[in-house]
Amino acid sequence: MTKLSVNINKIATLRNSRGGNVPDLLRVAADCERFGAQGITVHPRPDERHIRYQDVFDLKKQVSTEFNIEGNPTEGRFREVVLTVKPEQVTLVPDALGALTSNAGWDTIRHREKLKELVRMYKAEGIRVSIFVDAVPEMVEAAAETGTDRVELYTESYASGFAESPEKAIAPFIIAAEAAQKAGLGLNAGHDLSLENLEYFHKNIPGLLEVSIGHALISDALYYGLENTIQMYLRKLN
User: Catalytic amino acids?
Assistant: 43, 70, 191
78 bridge partner residues: none
213 bridge partner residues: 6
Which residue, 186, 134, 178, is CA-closest to 158? 134
H helices present in 38-77, as ranges: 53-60
Peptide bond connecting 87 to the previous residue in cis, omega within 30 degrees of 0: no
The count of C-alpha atoms lying within 13 angstroms of the C-alpha of 160, restricted to the half-sphere facing its C-beta, is 6
Cα distance between residue 82 and residue 93, in whole Å:
13
Q: Using DSSP, state whether 67 is helix, strand or coil.
A: strand
Contact 43, 53 (CB under 8 A): no
Cα distance between residue 59 and residue 105, in whole Å:
26
Cα distance between residue 153 and residue 11, in whole Å:
24
Contact 198, 233 (CB under 8 A): yes
39 Cβ contact list (under 8 Å, min separation 6) = 3, 4, 5, 6, 65, 66, 67, 68, 88, 210, 212
C-alpha distance from residue 27 to each of 33, 46, 203 (Å): 10, 24, 32
